[in-house]
Structure 1
């Protein structure tokens, strides 16, 4: 599947679930309904007004939907003989810098995020579902994957804006949970694939833009003057990643932060930060306009699923309260 395919080895079979677990927000708003027609025969013959603009789900709404999906998956897996812990997604405070780090203070504190990534990896290692799947035999893992994801990734198919066709199973506990929440599973899969992949397309278009290339050239000149002869931000990031191969973690983190600060200083001191942000906005608006129907439909499906999600979550909380001593621990990932 596409670029957010986490969960190798045991969790490789969960990659489709993990890919589709994230929610890409969009800020575009579809056009509003047409003015009401006046009463009379002409009005009766007029076409129906389009539906009201969809409301973008709030972060709290999104968390509720994710939690309800986890609960439904857990119930389904329990019914098929596999324990599955309902885990809480960690607070995602990580920042993404697809065009080069341009925040000097963030760079000073986080470098390129290497320390944060190690902490996230440790959280995944401690996740109860990860531990359970790792402890199964090969045949047990295969059976659990089938219960979770279906036997083969067929039944659902959608073409992402990247041009890649993404498929998944219409069977298994993931599909059952999403069908329960959203009703039309095929439609939900399609709009989720499309909207989740708008970000990669936007970033690719910025990287291909001549204005970005020109700004990177000016940034590279600044880096050379600072004794860091890297042709582009990807090259400096790759250099930072190699620090850990020859240094203890603390030294690698310090060296990474030092390089990231130089990169951010050059990004802020040349047109790179300004140009990349402007291009990101421009291409983002174009993509949102191009895919406004899919965005609006996704929001409608999510909003329509909220009552069911509240019901599922409240029932689960009540059951957990009644059996608190035996409740399962929370973890940081789905697999």
Structure 2
């Protein structure tokens, strides 16, 4: 989450900035932010105009399409870039990669044998993601800055400190962010009521852990895991839970060459999936996930509807921002491989 920090975190300015940039191209729901006029580099943007509440109330409470979500994410990146350039830093407008089959999430157990045979536990995708983060133009740019310039860039992007915005997740964790900086300025320009957007975003983006916790705590899931564990023991994999199986995969592959690590991971994932589908675990997990998902959505239906209204009310602004931005292949480039304007040599 861009600009969001936990007071117990261990990250210093350089680490925090790299973490922020690693996630800067995610959809707008993942960008938790700070304040400041994104278009002009100001520290504190204007308060919501008088018509904002009316536009928000009139917006439909329907989930934006994938294309609309990408428009919101791209507009936020463009506004951040404008603001950072106004403050003397480069910032490339990066895209958001579509979800791929390789990056499926299995919160209860891998339960697709063919997927496991092709992808193991997804370790190859994780390694590709790590390489992509290292190659990210913004990360390369910030790594090349001197410590003083990097700290200044962090402040420009995320504000001086995580103060001004605060919200509590459904799991009880309090998240805070700065009410200043280019990230928050971009979000303020899009969504108008930054504290309101921050709160509803923090709540709705943390609903999955609530649902998954309810499934893991359900006695039906525990019984299904018991049957799965018996199957695993018979296959020579004495793991008490899918979590234990996943941890074993990490231990077994540590230090191995990439091809052997992939083969070892895949073999264990295939056994896990075979036992999940050969017992009631796959069926029970899916049924419980649906049931508890409906329960959680019902409990937080007002917050979900408000998030959707925020997003739909922001779409006209986002579409205008994206239309005004030069084409990726136009004379201005893709916002470009960033280059510092301070005259430093970054190697």
TM-score range, shorter chain: 0.7 to 0.9
Q: Find the residue that maps to 1:57 and give its secondary structure.
A: coil
Q: Give unpaired runs (5+ residues) of structure 2.
A: 31-56, 339-347
**Distance 1:54-1:196 versus aligned 2 partners, 3 A rule:** same
Q: Find the residue that maps to 1:166 and give its secondary structure.
A: strand
Match of 1:69 in 2: 76
Match of 1:224 in 2: 233
Match of 1:34 in 2: none
- 1:19 CA drift (Å): 9.0
Q: Which among 162, 167, 170 is matched to residue 179 of structure 2?
A: 170
Alpha-carbon distance in 1 for matches of 2:82, 2:27: 21
Residue 207 of structure 1 contacts residue 213 of structure 1 at CA under 8 Å; is this kept in 2?
yes
- Higher-Rg structure is 1
Residue 85 of structure 2 contacts residue 91 of structure 2 at CA under 8 Å; is this kept in 1?
yes
Alpha-carbon distance in 1 for matches of 2:282, 2:162: 41
Alpha-carbon distance in 2 for matches of 1:248, 1:266: 27
Question: Is structure 2 residue 203 aligned with structure 1 residue 194?
Answer: yes
Residue 20 of structure 1 contacts residue 192 of structure 1 at CA under 8 Å; is this kept in 2?
no
Match of 2:93 in 1: 86
Match of 2:163 in 1: 154
Q: Which among 293, 298, 307 is matched to residue 298 of structure 1?
A: 307
Q: Which among 285, 304, 319 is matched to residue 310 of structure 1?
A: 319
- 1:70 CA drift (Å): 0.3
What is the Cα-based RMSD across aligned positions, in Å? 2.5
Alpha-carbon distance in 1 for matches of 2:271, 2:305: 41
- 1:245 CA drift (Å): 1.8
Q: Find the residue that maps to 1:321 and give its secondary structure.
A: coil
- 1:11 CA drift (Å): 4.4
Normalising to structure 1: TM-score of the pair? 0.84
**Distance 1:323-1:132 versus aligned 2 partners, 3 A rule:** closer
Match of 1:211 in 2: 220
Alpha-carbon distance in 2 for matches of 1:128, 1:225: 49
What aligned pairs does 1:127-142 form with structure 2 within 5 A after superposition? 127-142=136-151
- 1:136 CA drift (Å): 1.7
Q: Find the residue that maps to 2:330 and give its secondary structure.
A: helix
- 1:209 CA drift (Å): 1.2
Write 1 or 2 for the structure with the bigger share of helix.
1
Q: Give unpaired runs (5+ residues) of structure 1.
A: 26-49, 331-335
**Distance 1:319-1:261 versus aligned 2 partners, 3 A rule:** closer
- 1:327 CA drift (Å): 4.7
- 1:72 CA drift (Å): 0.3
Match of 1:58 in 2: 65
Match of 2:131 in 1: 122
After superposition, give the CA deviation of every residue in 1:124-180 in whole Å (9 maximum; x if it has no partner). Answer: 100001111112222222111100000010111111101111110110000000000
Q: Which among 10, 15, 32 is matched to residue 14 of structure 2?
A: 10
Residue 231 of structure 2 contacts residue 275 of structure 2 at CA under 8 Å; is this kept in 1?
yes
Alpha-carbon distance in 1 for matches of 2:73, 2:256: 39
- 1:22 CA drift (Å): 4.6
